[in-house]
Amino acid sequence: MKKNIALVTGGDSGESVISIQSAYIIKENIDKGKYNVYTIFIKGSKWTYLSDDNTEINVDKNDFSISENGGKIKFDAVFIAIHGTPGEDGKLQGYFDIMGIPYTFSGVVSSSLTFNKNYCQLLAKEYGAKTAKSVLIKKGGKFLVHDIIDITGLPCFVKPNNGGSSIGMSKVKKPEELQEAIETAFHEDTEVQIEEFIEGTEVTCGILQKKNELIALPLTEIVSKHEYFDFKSKYAPELAEEIIPARVPDEIHKKCKELSLSLFKKFNCKGVARFDYIIKNNIPYFLEVNTIPGLSAASIIPKQANAMGISLKELFSILIENIID
- Structural domains of the chain in order of their starting residue, each with its CATH number: 3-104 (3.40.50.20), 112-130+199-321 (3.30.470.20), 133-196 (3.30.1490.20)
Largest CA distance in the chain: 66
Tens of pLDDT along 87-112?
Answer: 999 999 999 999 999 999 999 999 99
pLDDT band for position 237 (cuts 50, 70, 90): low
The per-residue pLDDT for 233 is 47
The least confident of 4-8, 143-147, 264-268 is: 143-147
Report the C-alpha gap between 291 and 29 in whole angstroms: 21
Cis peptide before 284 (omega within 30 of 0): no
113 forms beta bridges with none
Instruction: Give the mean pLDDT of 309-322.
Output: 97
pLDDT higher than 60, residue 168: yes
Residue 18: name the closest of 313, 239, 295, 290 by CA: 295
Can you spell out the DSSP letters for 170-239?
A: EEE-SGGGHHHHHHHHHTT-SEEEEEE---SEEEEEEEEEETTEEEEPPPEEEEESSSS--HHHHH-GGG
The per-residue pLDDT for 230 is 47
Can you spell out the DSSP letters for 112-148?
A: HHHHBHHHHHHHHHHTT-EE--EEEEETT----HHHH
How many other C-beta atoms are found inside a 10 Å radius of the C-beta of residue 33?
Answer: 7
DSSP 103: B
Can you spell out the DSSP letters for 82-101?
A: --STTTSSSHHHHHHHHHT-
Residue 181: name the closest of 191, 190, 194 by CA: 194
The per-residue pLDDT for 54 is 83
- Rounded to the nearest 5°, which phi and psi values hold at 83? -90, 135
pLDDT higher than 50, residue 241: yes
The least confident of 74-83, 136-145, 244-253, 290-299 is: 290-299
Tens of pLDDT along 112-165?
Answer: 999 999 999 999 999 999 999 999 999 999 889 999 999 999 999 999 998 765
The per-residue pLDDT for 165 is 57
Counting every residue, how long is the chain? 325
